[in-house]
Structure 1
Amino acid sequence: MPAQIYAPFERFNFSNNKCFLTGEALNTEEEKIQVFPQWLMSRYNLEDQPFKLLDESMATYKDLKLPCSAAVNEQFLEPLESEVAAAFAAGYEGVKALDELKLFQWAGKLLYGIIFNEIQAGIRQQHAQGEEFNISQSIIHKFSNLHLMLQSINLPLELDGFNPFSVFLFKVDNAGDVFGYRDEINTLTFSLRIKDFGLIICLQDNGANASYHKEVMDKIKGQTLHPIQFEEVNARLFYSAYLFNRLPEYDVMPVEDTIYIEAAPLRGLSSKPLFDDWVPKIYGQVLENFWKNWGYLLFEIIKDPERPMSFLFDANGDFVNAQTIELPR
């Protein structure tokens, strides 16, 4: 029997009695995996740390779980976790050697796990108020596409000449036990800063952000960044992910035992640029949020409204060596 794509958003079933990845019925609602893998939680003592959901309710990292078939976990997810855990343990060089698709699968599974928990919380809240759960069609479209691509973990899925993501990896001079995690589920953007590296993935842009920031990335390629520089890159990418104005479309073509996925051109029928206009003041607001650890305020950041403050580049546009930055890590 040919492989079957599972599309949970068609019937909007987010109960705990179906495997999140395959849709198969589970034997018990206790058949679950952690959203944040145990090895990561143990390494950074995250289990009982607070995790704030979009409805303002608080959970802990260990509370976030995904219904998952034991067989799927054993056959597909645990090997992926083991490979990523080993790469992360080796630091920047280990992560650099890892296949980008596996990084995408790992980060995408984690972010989808958060989305799944957010949807469950939203459904509970709306039902408690006697209302139907509502979510925008564009968000459903993005989440559906992410789930489709995640099935490259367990199905013979062939991405035909494209990657659905942009991956950015940097060597960062982090303090020893730093755990810096951020996400933005509306734009499907993921960021993790640990050990001696920082990783940012735009999970649903078909490589558009990598093209958009090519000039910046070429200037900092191979450099070791100070954490404040990495957070500046973070701010740039989270802001451009917000400005990205296309919803990628895909053709899914099962051929014998393989499912081929082809990406429609992002430009489509529109002559509009792929990204809305970059507004320095709004970027400055994003940057303020990413620089909270260092206490920089918006009025300092946008003293020159057209050229927000930067630790990455000097007035001539040249890269600033991290060793010359005198700030706490």
Structure 2
Amino acid sequence: MSQPFFNPFQDLIFDEHFCFLSGVLTTEKMTVFPNWLMDHFKFGDEKIEMMDKTKSYIYSDLKLPCSPEVKEAFDALDTKIKAAYKNGFEGMASLDQELLFQWTGRMVYGLLYYEMLYERDRLLKMGEEFGLSEHLKERFGRFHLMLQSIIEPISFVGKKPWSIVVFPLKYSADIFSYRDDAINLMFSFGVNGFGFIACLQDNGIIGEKQKELLDKMEGQVLHPIQFEELYARFHYSDYILQYKPEYKIENNDNGITIESLPIEKKGSKPIFGFWDEDIFAQLLANYWSVYGIEREDILKFQKPPLSFLENPYSKDFIKPETIDLPF
């Protein structure tokens, strides 16, 4: 195509006058988190912290500059997600994963946008210049290009750039659980009825790594503590992934096609680094703190690490109904 698509990471353009997705001049804004979601679970007035914990915002105050076209596209997507949501697990599982990618991508990108604004302004006050490594510029730029598929002729062919898993989940009514890691482009979402985990730019390799476990849990309604452990496994797998996802991006008269290239081992370097049970236990303890479970409870001398997903000896899946913890 004659005109390249907008890439804010090329020149680090994060300005309220330019649409976050298309780059056109605008005076309109849209919320980072869908209004219906904030209204339904009543978290619009709650605070969310930035990654360094020194800055916080009110959820409903997080807004992205957007063109009318972009707002209309995300409103239409929200209508589809909301309709699927009402049908619980079956509704969400029936959605095309590209829609889930775009829906979660909006929130993850929105938080990433605010991280960029915060870091830029923080450095400006110190008289320093804001910058990103070439690796992050490329990674975030690719993610932004993929997100533009909601408004531009961008299609995904062959292997998809993400791992997204949807599963039945049991929570007390009206509880909404979500976690994100905007820098690593990860997101998890759980309510009564279903949960899903999304690694938005791993080329599917983390889903493949966890396939054996995912196959074991098929048809089971997960307990929330199992949901937290599953996300921890995805999150830590992303941390130890040793290869950069790469893509075949082709530009033609009909738009852009994006194909994820398989992540393959080169030489003696494995795809994933060493799984350190000590580091994983610390991560898991952060997720399990609501149950009063600490790192010392997960790792005990001469005992296998604590798991609520698999029996450490037989590796059988642990039935959710046998877990005597609140949900």
The aligned length equals: 325
In structure 1, the residue matched to 2:49 is 52
SS of equivalent residue, structure 2 residue 180: strand
Cα deviation 1:167-205 (Å, max 9, x = unaligned): 111111111111111011232110111131111000000
Give runs of aligned pairs for residues 257-272 of structure 1, distance below 5 A: 257-267=254-264, 271-272=268-269
Cα deviation 1:127-163 (Å, max 9, x = unaligned): 1111111333322222111111101111111222110
In structure 2, the residue matched to 1:9 is 9
- 1:132 matches 2:129: yes
Is contact 2:171–2:224 with CA below 8 Å preserved after alignment? yes
The structure 1 residue matched to 2:276, chosen from 268, 276, 279, is 279
SS of equivalent residue, structure 1 residue 8: coil
What percent of counterpart residues are identical? 40
TM-score (norm 1): 0.94
- 1:312 matches 2:309: yes
In structure 2, the residue matched to 1:293 is 290
In structure 1, the residue matched to 2:20 is 20
Give runs of aligned pairs for residues 207-286 of structure 1, distance below 5 A: 207-267=204-264, 271-286=268-283
Shift of the 267–11 alpha-carbon distance from structure 1 to 2, 3 Å rule, reads same
Cα deviation 1:236-262 (Å, max 9, x = unaligned): 111111111222222322211221223
Larger deviation, residues 92-101 vs 134-143: 134-143
Larger deviation, residues 312-321 vs 78-87: 312-321
Query: For the residues of structure 1 that align with 2:303 and 2:267, how far apart are their CA atoms?
Result: 29
In structure 2, the residue matched to 1:197 is 194
- 1:92 matches 2:89: yes
Larger deviation, residues 319-328 vs 242-251: 242-251
Larger deviation, residues 59-68 vs 2-11: 2-11
- 1:42 matches 2:33: no
Larger deviation, residues 42-51 vs 132-141: 132-141
In structure 2, the residue matched to 1:151 is 148
Query: For the residues of structure 2 that align with 1:134 and 1:108, how far apart are their CA atoms?
Result: 23
Residue identity in the other structure for 1:288:
A
TM-score (norm 2): 0.95
Residue identity in the other structure for 1:158:
S
Query: For the residues of structure 1 that align with 2:278 and 2:192, how far apart are their CA atoms?
Result: 32
Query: For the residues of structure 2 that align with 1:154 and 1:94, how far apart are their CA atoms?
Result: 24
Query: For the residues of structure 2 that align with 1:91 and 1:261, how far apart are their CA atoms?
Result: 31
Query: For the residues of structure 2 that align with 1:307 and 1:141, how far apart are their CA atoms?
Result: 40
In structure 2, the residue matched to 1:72 is 70
Is contact 2:228–2:287 with CA below 8 Å preserved after alignment? yes
Shift of the 267–306 alpha-carbon distance from structure 1 to 2, 3 Å rule, reads farther
Gaps of 5+ in 2: none
Query: For the residues of structure 1 that align with 2:302 and 2:44, how far apart are their CA atoms?
Result: 42
Is contact 1:2–1:257 with CA below 8 Å preserved after alignment? no
Query: For the residues of structure 1 that align with 2:321 and 2:68, how far apart are their CA atoms?
Result: 48
Larger deviation, residues 301-310 vs 291-300: 301-310
Gaps of 5+ in 1: none
Is contact 1:3–1:257 with CA below 8 Å preserved after alignment? no
Is contact 2:93–2:166 with CA below 8 Å preserved after alignment? yes
Is contact 1:281–1:305 with CA below 8 Å preserved after alignment? no
Query: For the residues of structure 2 that align with 1:17 and 1:270, how far apart are their CA atoms?
Result: 48
Cα deviation 1:58-80 (Å, max 9, x = unaligned): 11101111110012211x21111
Larger deviation, residues 199-208 vs 189-198: 189-198
